[in-house]
Structure 1
């Protein structure tokens, strides 16, 4: 399929998952607010979420696909299946051991991770149990990421993009239980929801295993061995996962720093769900679709195709990401208050979260661009330099984040805002390093046509932002005349309509170009029931 069509398939499925995830977060906010149980739950999800985004959402898969694709092209299906089997056995054994070690160490680690509650042993105890229940999800995601890489190499993107919906379904069930008359104490609800995370991981891995077998690939899990193929996989995939997950590592740094501020981790979680949406819908989908195409171009030494693919991917990413970032920057309170303020989640909570979200918003284009700029490195099996750039961005985030977090707090301001500023700044540092390397080595040099299109997209976004600002100023009156839910739908709808019209007016894209981008490429892989 074409790059745009692959991206559309994945984005549509991811959107379904994110809608359910948004519903889950509304229930979380209503059940827990931004109190200790919410802080405990976000701590329980911190490591599983990190690994899910590092592995299941593309970084590991992007690094693994070139290796698996090379073995498949040069040595045949059987050799590729053997490589995948050996890698899966070793990685699962390693991650399972890590999970067990973490579960044992959590009673000593939790006072450091959640230091705001050192004087509340009951909250710490519940946070430890909840994290132990969610931790096996990591092992499931290791297997799921490898299986997704096998499917993506064969041009099958739908199943790997669709299975994350199971996480939201499984965790939504206990949160929505009161709707059918099943009431639970907050502490019980915390533990049941955390256990549902692991259940969803088992289901995701099982469904992807079925998909791989239906594709005709026979994987066999045996005793783990550090074979030459496994060593090569680790040497490329682990740095690749770290490189592709720079933003996730920066998010983890922010979570750790926020542990000393009661409610701060909940604020970060609620802001994270909104600013991560463009990354999941656009950045991850385009990144996964780029790797197989760039790998083929690299093997064939077809520089022109690689250049054209990168121009198309970057332009497509910015066309969807820039308007989302502008909306998050201009009307963050409107979006949060209209959707999340209910039950235990107050307007004051929405106002605090909105200020943090605004600082994440200007980093959103960088978060997505990093997913577009790392595939050219991965396609050439160069994961070390992106890893080094990721390390630089993480160090910058730690230094700047700690300085701003404690500096803001010393001035009586919300320290979490400083963490958001540091995360966005670190993301742009990473993008600057990646882009400058690609340009310097002529691996990708933005064409004049791409630059002109980016300017036209920017003009369309500016027109949309002006409309959103004017509508946001009148949000209070609109929400009094209508409900706040209808008000936000009208505001966002008006902004989207203006952007679509401006895109046509400024010739950022034409209908014929969109049809051409979505047309299946000749010679593409045949479809099966999986897509």
Structure 2
């Protein structure tokens, strides 16, 4: 299977998950709107979901896959099974203790880490909101306790996914997160049908998150068994392999999850303003679709490919793989970023504006989405640059870059929140993303680990030109279709207008890309017609 085919396999499965995620967020917006219950659910879910993104989307794999692959090569299947069982048993024990401690001290965690703003809330601030400050705090603690074991499920799932990825079996791990969206869509639909109040709906959604965690873990375990590999629980022991994994996994988790860390920090700061947490979450969903399709696919597939090339001493192949991956990333994310920046409000209105989601919330969410969009290429580029370090078992350099950008994000979020509210948090996240991507690239380039070829330079410039022309055409079409995009028009008319905007924009961009050579025809054909592996 070609590199592009692997990107397509993981990206396609992730795209399905993100599309159903749209459905989930649309139903949630209709059921909860922008308010205290939505804030409580998003705050409670963000903490375990942070760990899901840290581990499941490549960070744990960045440490585990090279060690597991080495064990498989040097010690055979039995040695690899022994190593995997050691890691699984230790991880299971740590997560069990961590979950019990978190249950006990959850009020403290909510007050200090998850939602510090609730500690400074006074009832006069929330005015017509349905819940008092004490009730908002209590419901956030309750939701957090219910959902916290989801963290353990996702961490164990990440390890099993790493085993599957090491065997070049990408689909099950990429498809499993879709279960969360299926379960929550079902739960919210049931709550709407039964006309439950917001608090009860949030309570049921929290249990749905927990149930989906066990289901996702079961899916990857079954896939691992089908691959004729298994792990067993045993008494945890301190071994050389475990020590090496911890040395690599800690920095890798921090590095790989910078996007989610930034969002988590942003939501913690946003908890000082009622409704801001929900606004950030609703804006995050459209932004996550292209990020998931391209960024996650590259992060999962590129690391094993680079590791194999470097171990075999094929340095030119490694350089070619890195350049083509960056080319592929920019080819898809630059036009997506421009489109989301230009037309965020019509998109948000069509997706969310119904039920409990008031029209006054649409421009607030749209402005945040537009600022998030400006950082989209940076966050995907980070997924391309990070494997260049991980494949060489170097986590120190990218960890330093990540810490610098994380500090910048916190400082900027605190400063900009005072003058721009939730928009300031979005802008800080975007600036920190570009800072991190720049530091990662400079580290590789300075050490001679990345050689930019002429093909990459040429196509990157052409992509910018083509995307710029597409952006101009979008602005012109919005002017022509202004009446159709009027908020007072029927939803069907607005949807048709957006489809026309997106369709024409794609036509303009891809036509220019093929005509100018910004698109690699072989690359695009590889997405459409995958090459089968030779027997």
TM-score range, shorter chain: over 0.9
Helix, strand or coil at the partner of 1:219: coil
Q: Please, which of 115, 140, 147 is the counterpart of residue 117 of structure 2?
A: 115
The Cα shift of 1:522 comes to 5.7
Give the alignment partner of residue 484 of structure 1, picking from 486, 494, 517. 494
CA shift, 1:183, in A, is 2.7
Equivalence for 2:81: 81
CA contact (8 A) 1:278 1:368 kept: no
Which residue of 1 is the match for residue 342 of structure 2? 330
What is the CA–CA distance in structure 2 between the aligned matches of 1:156 and 1:456, rounded to whole Å? 35
CA distance in 2, matches of 1:129, 1:388: 36
2:117–2:270 Cα contact (<8 Å) kept:
no
Aligned with residue 452 of structure 1, among 430, 439, 458: 458
Q: Which runs of 5+ in 2 are unaligned?
A: 124-132
Q: Does 1:266 align with 2:278?
A: yes
Contact 1:42 1:265 in 2 (8 A): yes
Q: Distance in 2 between matches of 1:516 and 1:340?
A: 35
Match of 1:390 in 2: 402
Q: Does 1:440 align with 2:446?
A: yes
- Pair 1:199-2:205 in alignment: no
Structure 2 Cα separation of the partners of residues 141 and 317 of structure 1: 27
- 2:240 aligned to which of 209, 222, 228: 228
Q: Match for residue 380 of structure 1?
A: 392
SS in 2 for 1:183: coil
Match of 1:37 in 2: 37
Inter-partner Cα distance in structure 2 for 1:44 and 1:170: 17
Moved more, 291-300 or 486-495: 486-495
Rounded Cα–Cα distance in structure 2 between residues aligned with 1:256 and 1:19: 26
Q: How does 1:206-285 map to 2 (within 5 A)?
A: 206-285=218-297
| Between 261-270 and 464-473, the greater mean CA deviation after superposition | 464-473
- Report the alpha carbon displacement of residue 178 of structure 1 after superposing the two structures with TM: 4.8
Cα deviation, 1:87-125, whole Å, max 9, x if unaligned, reads 111122212322222222222333441525554212221
**Structure 2 equivalent of residue 26 of structure 1:** 26
Tell me, in whole angstroms, the C-alpha distance in 2 between the residues paired with 1:500 and 1:63: 37
* 1:3–1:286 contact (8 Å) kept in structure 2: no
User: Is 1:424 aligned with 2:426?
Assistant: no
- Say if 2:386 and 2:398, in contact at 8 Å, map to a contact too: yes
State how far apart, in whole Å, the 2-side matches of 1:519 and 1:189 are. Answer: 43
Relative to structure 2, which stretch is displaced further, 66-75 or 430-439? 66-75
In 2: Cα distance, 1:512 partner to 1:295 partner: 24
Post-superposition shift, 1:63?
2.4
> TM (normalized to structure 1)?
0.94
Deviations 1:453-501 (A, max 9, x none): 1111112211211122223345541133852222212211221121111
Deviation string, structure 1 residues 317-369 (Cα, Å, up to 9, x no partner): 11111111111111111111121111111222110011111111111111111
1:153 corresponds in structure 2 to 166
Shift of 1:370: 0.6
CA contact (8 A) 1:44 1:127 kept: yes
SS for the counterpart of 1:57 is: helix
Pairs within 5 Å for 1:96-111: 96-111=96-111
Report the number of matched residues. Answer: 517
CA distances 1:29-71 after superposition (whole Å, capped 9, x unpaired): 1111101111011011111211111111222122211111111
Distance in 2, matches of 1:468 and 1:101, equals 52
- Separation in 1, partners of 2:122, 2:149: 26
| 1:202-239 Cα deviation digits (max 9, x unpaired) | 11111111111111112112222222211111111121
Judge conservation of contact 1:244–1:386 (CA < 8 Å) in 2.
no
Q: For the structure 1 residues 472 and 103, does the alpha-carbon distance in structure 2 shift closer, same or farther, using more than 3 Å as the test?
A: farther
Match of 2:143 among 118, 127, 130: 130
TM normalised by structure 2 equals 0.93
Aligned counterparts, 1:324-363, within 5 A: 324-363=336-375
Alpha-carbon contact 1:65-1:292 (below 8 Å) kept: yes
Structure 2 residue aligned with 1:291, among 268, 287, 303? 303
Q: Is the 8 A contact 1:459 1:506 kept in 2?
A: no
Seen in structure 2, the aligned counterparts of structure 1 residues 177 and 114 have a Cα distance that, compared at 3 Å, is farther
C-alpha distance 16-235 of structure 1, shift in aligned 2 (>3 A): same
Q: The residue matched to 2:357 in structure 1 has which SS?
A: coil
Q: Distance in 1 between matches of 2:384 and 2:408?
A: 21
CA-CA distance at 1:275 after TM superposition: 1.5
CA–CA distance in 2 between the matches of 1:400 and 1:361?
A: 18
Tell whether the 8 Å contact from 1:118 to 1:124 is kept in structure 2 after alignment: no
**8 A contact 2:179–2:216 mirrored in 1:** yes
Q: Deviations over 1:155-204 (max 9, x none)?
A: 1111111000011111111101156x423221111111011111111111
